[in-house]
Amino acid sequence: MRNKKILVPLALVAAAIVAVVWWSRSPTDSPMLADGPALLSTPQTRQDAAALRDRMDPAKSGWQSEAFAEAAAAPLKKLAMQMARGDLGQEEIAEIADAGCLSRALRPRQPREIRRDPHVVVRRATFGESDEADKLGTESLAAALNALMSTIVKGTETRVKLKITSVEMRPEGVETTIAYEASGRGSTGWIQQTGEWHCVWKQDAATPRIVSIRPHRWEEVETLQSERRWMSDCTQSVLGASVAFKQQLSYGLDHWLGRIERSHGMLYFRRQGLAVGDVNGDGLDDVYVCQAGGLPNRLFLQQADGTVADVSRAAGVDWLDSTSSALLVDLNNDGRQDLVLATAAGVLVQFNRGDGTFGRRALVAFDDSDVQALSAVDYDNDGDLDLYVTVDFASGTTRRREGLPGFLYHDANDGGINRLLRNDGGGKNGDWVFTDVTAEVGLDTHNRRHSLAASWEDYDNDGDLDLYVANDYGQNCLYRNGRDASGNVRFEEVAEAAGVVDFGSGMSVSWADYNRDGRMDLYVGNMFSTAGSRITTQDRFLPNTTPSRRALYRRFVKGNSLYRNDGPKGFREVDHSGAAMGRWAWSSQFADLDNDGWEDIVVANGYITTDDPGDL
């Protein structure tokens, strides 16, 4: 806090100067430059910048539905706050709803109990159009909202969120869908409600007013036996003694972006991962933390009491090079976990010497620096683990050399190349040998689609491992492991036939048998956007496009995908899985959190949070 006011922004001193500076940066990668002498067009002038700002303003860019969603956000926020506070009165409702508003019971009279376990009960309802008659007036709406919130004890932990997910501008009123979430303490444990309303608005005044609210869907989860929520943040107690944790990991990326020069590899659009494995063979899992360039990676060894010791330096693994991901696997079958790192310069392999240190044994250089995820597999069954590496963007050099096509958001084919590296053991000079066999085994098909994640699984239960690759800007790939005529491993890209193309912006892959039919199902992390959901359903959105392409864009913002494996019939996307709205999802993973034998799902999400109160 002491430091907060030390710097006086020059904006105060010299507003005009800062405004000029603000809008005058040129793009770093001007496409005009590669083409030889031509008058340089200035790709973004200050006028362009102003035009861009106007385009960002839905009212100015003609997106009336978005302007409406923006205008309705304030009354909705107010309503959410009042719901969280409880005991809504007629007066409060009158501020945001019409005196003649219509409403129905928002909490079902007889919710269906889906399943009651000792620790949790789930209740659900769907509402039909003719289930109930409308009631008139603000008092009825207040009563419906109070009844809805009646199971949640009001307090500082109570949270209510209302968001508009679709808008239809009609002459008689604006029809919207509202996603609602409420949570807080209940009478025994915690309660969470999730649902959807159909809400009609009147737009004649400056602030939109609610004309009617009717429920679509409702779900309530109640925990039955614990005051605590299920998972607790114990990071401090495990890492609190670590200096590196305090100095490096308790700050977000934005902090370091302004403090570490970019040539160290401190870049805005890079992401860093984690690997768990038993490094010292003591039966306890340890954790390796990848960091952005200029910050040293960390190896934390778990102690018997669950806390960790930072051995990064002594182990020789405190790399400052920009590292996306890591793997702890035994590459030479000596019973010790070796370290594989995906870095901007390529894949670095260090062998575990068994004395607490790691020695460098191989570096597989990559032309494309946007190296992402690692996975290990013995694809050829020769008894040692091979490595698969995904790459997002191609480097400028690759682009020029290969004459790659331009970037297409919905179906990109200009990405870097994912590589399968065959483990060929020790070479003459003591280096470990990895051979790129990507093309040889057929993994070069559809291999420029900006890949983020990949995961191996025997989806067809034929005894060998197949590969699913999630692509950010293109269709995803499923490579079936098979044999060619001479009996060599040959992968075939079968995503389309298998029904798992998934046009969404694929960020992660997780496999599990979620329905316990003996076949592995697939969950793919994508993005969900309320604004995107609203926009892509509008007639104004890409007015001249085909219905199929429009559907494709809706697909981009619809959220995560759950594909049920139906065996010979291929995969089938589960339409109403209840697990699609993972927001802007990154790693999305199956894990049976309550030990009931059914795989649950965890989604890490959120794109970019800053102090900026608005949202692009």
Partner 1 sequence: MSPSPRDNSNRRAVDEYIAAWSAITKLFRRGSSQSGNERNCVFLNRTGGPGRAMRFANVSAVSGLDFPDDGRCVVVVDWDHDGDLDLWMRNRTAPKLRLMINQTVSSAEGNSFVAFKLTGTSCNRDAIGARVEVKLTDATAGRLIQTLRAGDGYLSQSSKWLHFGLAKGTAIKGVSVRWPDGQQEQFGAVAGGRRYKLRQGSGEAQPASTEPRSVRLAASRQPRDTNSSVAQVLLPRKIPLPDLFYRGMNDEKKQSLRAGSQTKLVMLWASTCPHCRRELTSLAKDKSQLDAAGLDVLALNVDQLSVEGAVDVTAAQKFLDDIKFPYRTGRASGALLDKIQHLIGALFDSEVPLAVPLGLLIDSEGNLLAVYRGPPPRDVLLFDARHADADEQQRRDMAAPFPGRWYTQHPGRPALLELLADHFQEDYPDEAVGYLEMALPEVKNAAAKQSLEQRMAALHYYLASQQVASNDLAGAERSLARVVELQPQNRKARQQLEDVQARRRLRDEK
Q: Are 416 and 408 in contact (CB under 8 A)?
A: no
Is residue 241 involved in binding partner 1 (CB under 8 A)? no
Neighbours of 606 (CB within 10 A): 10
Q: Are 242 and 235 in contact (CB under 8 A)?
A: no
Instruction: Closer to partner 1 by CB, 96 or 275: give it.
Output: 275
Subset of residues 120 to 179 that bind partner 1, contact rule: CB under 8 A: 120, 122, 124, 159
Total length of the chain? 616
Instruction: Closer to partner 1 by CB, 139 or 378: give it.
Output: 378
Q: Minimum Å distance from CB 347 to partner 1?
A: 12
Q: For partner 1, how many residues bind (rule: CB under 8 A)?
A: 233
Stretch that binds partner 1, among 79-87, 135-143, 253-261, 435-443 (CB under 8 A): 253-261
Structure tokens at 135: 């009631």
Q: Minimum Å distance from CB 225 to partner 1?
A: 7
CA 536 – CA 544 distance, rounded (Å): 13
CA 185 – CA 190 distance, rounded (Å): 4
Determine which residue in the list 263, 429, 486, 548 makes contact with partner 1, applying CB under 8 A. Answer: 263
Is residue 183 involved in binding partner 1 (CB under 8 A)? yes
Instruction: Closer to partner 1 by CB, 133 or 269: give it.
Output: 269
Subset of residues 450 to 469 that bind partner 1, contact rule: CB under 8 A: 452-458, 463, 465
Is residue 223 involved in binding partner 1 (CB under 8 A)? yes
Instruction: Closer to partner 1 by CB, 201 or 366: give it.
Output: 366
Name the residue among 419, 372, 410 with its Cα closest to residue 393: 372
Instruction: Closer to partner 1 by CB, 191 or 495: give it.
Output: 191
Q: Are 301 and 308 in contact (CB under 8 A)?
A: yes
Strands 173-185 and 135-136: unpaired
Subset of residues 558 to 587 that bind partner 1, contact rule: CB under 8 A: 574, 576-579, 581-587
- Tokens 């040129």, residue? 26
Subset of residues 44 to 83 that bind partner 1, contact rule: CB under 8 A: 44, 48-49, 52, 55
Q: Are 472 and 422 in contact (CB under 8 A)?
A: no
Estimate to the nearest angstrom the gap between the alpha carbon of 273 and the chain centroid.
Answer: 13
The burial class, CB within 10 Å (0-12 / 13-18 / 19+), for 15 is exposed
Instruction: Closer to partner 1 by CB, 146 or 307: give it.
Output: 307
Determine which residue in the list 67, 71, 260, 433 makes contact with partner 1, applying CB under 8 A. Answer: 260
Instruction: Closer to partner 1 by CB, 132 or 330: give it.
Output: 330
Stretch that binds partner 1, among 72-80, 93-101, 115-123, 128-136 (CB under 8 A): 115-123
Structure tokens at 342: 């995906």
Subset of residues 472 to 531 that bind partner 1, contact rule: CB under 8 A: 507-518, 520, 525, 527, 529
CA 468 – CA 494 distance, rounded (Å): 10
Which helix H or strand E contains 420, and what residues bound it? strand 419-426
Name the residue among 500, 436, 433, 417 with its Cα closest to residue 466: 500
Determine which residue in the list 180, 190, 358, 503 makes contact with partner 1, applying CB under 8 A. Answer: 190
Name the residue among 458, 479, 482 with its Cα closest to residue 470: 479
Structure tokens at 426: 């020790």
Instruction: Closer to partner 1 by CB, 88 or 385: give it.
Output: 385
The amino acid at 12: L
Q: Are 285 and 277 in contact (CB under 8 A)?
A: yes
Coil, strand or helix at 373: strand
Q: Minimum Å distance from CB 524 to partner 1?
A: 11
Determine which residue in the list 162, 311, 327, 443 makes contact with partner 1, applying CB under 8 A. Answer: 327
Stretch that binds partner 1, among 98-106, 127-135, 243-251, 482-490 (CB under 8 A): 243-251
Stretch that binds partner 1, among 185-193, 199-207, 486-494, 497-505 (CB under 8 A): 185-193
Is residue 206 involved in binding partner 1 (CB under 8 A)? no
Q: Crossing angle of helices 64-85/138-148, nearest 10°?
A: 70
Stretch that binds partner 1, among 89-97, 135-143, 163-171, 285-293 (CB under 8 A): 285-293
Coil, strand or helix at 465: coil
Stretch that binds partner 1, among 65-73, 304-312, 488-496, 497-505 (CB under 8 A): 304-312
Subset of residues 364 to 393 that bind partner 1, contact rule: CB under 8 A: 372-378, 381, 383-385, 388
Subset of residues 403 to 432 that bind partner 1, contact rule: CB under 8 A: 405-410
Stretch that binds partner 1, among 90-98, 318-326, 424-432, 439-447 (CB under 8 A): 318-326
Estimate to the nearest angstrom the gap between the alpha carbon of 112 and the chain centroid.
Answer: 32
Is residue 17 involved in binding partner 1 (CB under 8 A)? yes
Could you say which DSSP state residue 150 is in? G
Q: Minimum Å distance from CB 105 to partner 1?
A: 21
Q: Minimum Å distance from CB 141 to partner 1?
A: 25
Site string for partner 1, 539-558 (x = CB under 8 A): ---x--x---x---------
Map 127-177 to HEC letters: CCCCCCCCEECHHHHHHHHHHHHHHCECCCCCEEEEEEEEEEEECCEEEEE
Strands 209-223 and 120-126: antiparallel
Name the residue among 360, 268, 264 with its Cα closest to residue 315: 360
